[in-house]
Structures are given as structure tokens and as C-alpha cells.
Amino acid sequence: MVLLGIDYGQRKIGLATAHGRLAEPYKVIRYKAEEEAFRQILRFVDLEKVDKIVVGISEGKSAGEARAFGERLSHAVDVPVAYADETLSTQTAQSLSIEAGIGRAKRKSLEDAFAAAVMLQLFVDENV
């Protein structure tokens, strides 16, 4: 089973994949219009034959925005969209990447993809 994890943000989206039981960061999409982000996500879904998309939901106002994004995305793809708690995933990703010795510039550029991987790994551990 191929999963795509999404860490949603208003200007950038972190993507992570799981082929089986291990999640890994994929890339960060920077966008101005949501259609740009959808186009890149849909291309990846088709290319990698994604079976399920998992959108991370945090707390507060951003939780509603992420859920709304997931709902709009679910109408654009023929793949089920699930939701998972991503509370503190960014902080966890930062700590883990520092421990792994990843340089500051790379950490910053891939921060959202690392956060998506943390969220997706928790989802895999609990659901797959």
C-alpha cells in the first residue's frame, strides 16, 4: 500500500510517502494558488499509484483550514483521504533532524516534509 502524507500550510505543503510500513519525507510544495498544489499532488498520486492520502490536522484555526483543504482535495482525486493528528509533528521533526545531523539549511527547506513524515509514520504505526 502506498500512502501520501500531507502537512498542509497556506503557502507550502510538506509531502511524505510510505511504501509499506516506513514513512519518509518526499518534498515541499511552495504555491500561490491552491490549484498549483493540487496539480502537483495529483501528478504524484498518479505517478506513484497512491492508495490513500493522509492529511495532518493540528489544533485551532489551522485544523479547520487543513480539514477544508482535505475535503477539497478529496473531490479532486479518486483516492480516499483520511485525517491524522499532527500536533507537535514539526517540533518532533526538528528534533529528529538535528539528532540525525542534518544541516540547518536542509532542515529548514524540508521542515514541512519532515513533519509530514512524522505524522504519516504515526498513522502507519496505528493503522497499517
Q: Provide the pLDDT confidence category of residue 56 given band limits of 50, 70 and 90.
A: very high
Predicted model pTM: 0.89
Mean pLDDT of 80-105: 71
Q: Provide the pLDDT confidence category of residue 112 given band limits of 50, 70 and 90.
A: confident
Which residue range is the domain that position 37 belongs to? 2-127
Query: What is the CATH number for 31?
Result: 3.30.420.140
Mean pLDDT of 48-53: 97
- Domains identified in the chain, total number: 1
More confidently predicted of 108 and 34? 34
Torsions phi, psi of 14, nearest 5? -90, 135
Query: Which one-letter DSSP state was computed for residue 79?
Result: S
